A = this chain, B = another copy of it.
Amino acid sequence: MNSGESAGPLAGLRIVEVSSFVASPLCGLTLSQLGAQVIRIDPIGGASDYRRWPVTAGGESIYWTGLNRGKHSLSCDFRNPESQKLIQQLATAPGPGGGIFVTNAGGRDWMGHETLSALREDVITLEILGKRDGTAGVDYTVNAALGFPQVTGRGGGEVVNHVLPAWDIACGLHASTALLAAVRRRDQTGAGSQITLPLEDVALATAGALGYLTEVMVNGRQRQATGNAIYGTYGTDFVTADHARFMIVALTNRHFWDLVTLTETGAAVDALETALDTDFRVEGERYEYRDALTALFARWFRRHSAAEVSDALRKSSVLFEQYRSFTDVVESDALETNPLFSPLEQPRIGQYLAAGHPARFDSRHLSAAPAPVVGQHSAQVVAEILGLDDDEIAGLFERGVIG
């Protein structure tokens, strides 16, 4: 249906999604960019996130169109038993690449795994939940209950929510990975899968794997807020003479001693090392004494302009970036000159530079077509997948089964 679809590594796969918000649409977007055919099924008029901010001056959702690029849209009346049967048929249509259904709108028996697997034994279903008990939970509540806001920012009772919905993103990408794992099992053994993926468990598993929870269990204490300093190594931000801000990271000995040389603090750092009876070749010691080191380094940054700082850092091994705003990024040539981005003419939104899939496959970026209008492909989807003829399709519209 899209130009370019057949070119991706997932050509031949078809995913049907009943999805909203971030995680589930991101799963579908990713699979679509990798070449799968992704069919959204929405209530007529769109689900509750169809107008979600950011919106254009005309009220069209930049958010919704961004996450649903390249997908096909069929809309129907979810309360109508005939529509429910149609959704079941689309989710379980035959073919080795079909029979894959993703939703974050579970709890409905008529589109549950049991119902669908009775229609197609090897169906793969993936249901994204909020909390593991099936109750609602969103990125911002899951994050509050887990502990990150308390160690973000400067601490001292301050609690800072993240802005990026990091758990939604991790959940959507865990979903795409898990689905493809299930597809491989089916390709190899013929077995379907019932997958459930709670947003809450994505956050807990990640916090566990990265040590945030484990250090409490093992060491009996958690890490503290460190402002913009990176935990466990040397890295923090500095302000220049002309009020620009830089993030500096020195992970290795080479990075660190390059930073010392560059900031002309060799004698002071040596003296500090001796006085404190420590060894700055050890990463953990650089972290322990980060505030004293930062105070020494900061003087050099305060006495040089952003241009001078950039030039000097570029000649060293130190990892760095100047802080930028979203506007700075767009106004730089960072998007124009990056082949990840290409101009997209998005109906209702306008033309903008849209990102493709972040990976290059065989030196090529995979991008995606514009997002549909809800219901744009209703007739086409039932014709192509269920083989309905024009009269049958007209009847579906007349009876309000599809819209």
User: Chain A residues in contact with chain B, CB under 8 A?
Assistant: 8-13, 22, 26, 29-31, 34-35, 48, 51-57, 62-63, 66-67, 69, 126, 132, 136-138, 140-153, 159-166, 169-171, 173-178, 180-185, 187-188, 193-198, 201-202, 204-219, 221-223, 227-228, 230-233, 235, 237, 245-247, 249, 251-252, 283-284, 287, 317, 319-330, 334-335, 338, 340-341, 349-350, 352-363
Interface centre among A30, A56, A151 (most CB of B within 10 A): A30
Residue in B22, B53, B195, B210 whose beta carbon sits within 8 Å of that of A67 in the complex:
B210
Are A51 and B283 also in contact (CB < 8 A) when A147-B326, A181-B10, A247-B161 are?
Answer: yes
Q: Which residue of B187, B202, B247 contacts A184 across the interface (Cβ within 8 Å)? A: B187
Q: Which residue of B lies closest to A59 (CB)?
A: B284
Docked complex Cα distance between A82 and B149 (Å): 49
Given contacts A55-B284, A159-B245, contact A213 B330 (CB under 8 A): yes
In whole angstroms, how far apart are the Cα atoms of A170 and B30 in the complex?
12
Q: Is the interface of A mostly helix, strand, loop or mixed?
A: mixed
Q: How long is the Cα–Cα vector from A218 to B245 in the complex, in angstroms?
A: 27
Contact yes or no, B184 A219, CB < 8 A: no
- Most B-side CB within 10 Å, residue of A9, A165, A327: A9
**Closest partner residue, chain B, to A235 (CB atom):** B140
Q: What are 8 A-B pairs at a CB distance below 8 A?
A: A146-B329, A152-B163, A204-B355, A208-B353, A208-B354, A214-B349, A214-B352, A217-B353
Q: Residue on B with the closest CB to A212?
A: B326
Q: B166 near A223 (CB under 8 angstroms)?
A: no
Is the pair B335, A213 in contact by a Cβ cutoff of 8 Å?
A: yes
Asked whether A322 and B152 contact (CB < 8 A) given A162-B164, A231-B53, A251-B138, the answer is: no
CB distance from A367 to the nearest CB of B (A): 10
Interchain CA distance A325-B223 in the complex, whole Å? 10
In the complex, the chain B residue whose C-beta lies closest to that of A223 is: B54
A362 to B218, CA, bound (A): 32
* B145 in contact with A26 (CB, 8 Å): no
Among A48, A132, A173, A233, max chain B CB count under 10 A is at: A173
CB atoms of B354 and A323 under 8 A apart: no
Closest Cβ of chain B to A104, distance in Å, is: 13
Inter-chain contact B359/A320, CB cutoff 8 Å: no
Residues of B within 8 A of A320 (CB): 141
Chain B min CB distance to A131 (Å): 9
- Tell me whether B150 and A184 are in contact (CB under 8 A): no
* Residues of chain B with a CB closer than 8 A to A180's CB: 177, 180-181, 183-184
Closest 3 CB pairs of A and B: A53-B232, A173-B173, A144-B247
Choose among B63, B153, B204, B340 the residue that contacts A132 (Cβ–Cβ < 8 A): B340
Inter-chain CA distance A183–B183, complex, in Å, is: 11
Q: Is the pair A166, B162 in contact by a Cβ cutoff of 8 Å? A: yes
Among A69, A177, A363, the one with the most B-chain Cβ atoms within 10 Å of its Cβ is A177
Q: With A319-B138, A329-B146, A340-B201 as known contacts, state yes or no: A287 contacts B53, CB within 8 Å.
A: yes
Report Cα–Cα, A76/B179, bound state, in Å: 35
The answer to whether B324 touches A233 (Cβ under 8 A) is no
| B184 engages A136 (CB within 8 Å) | no
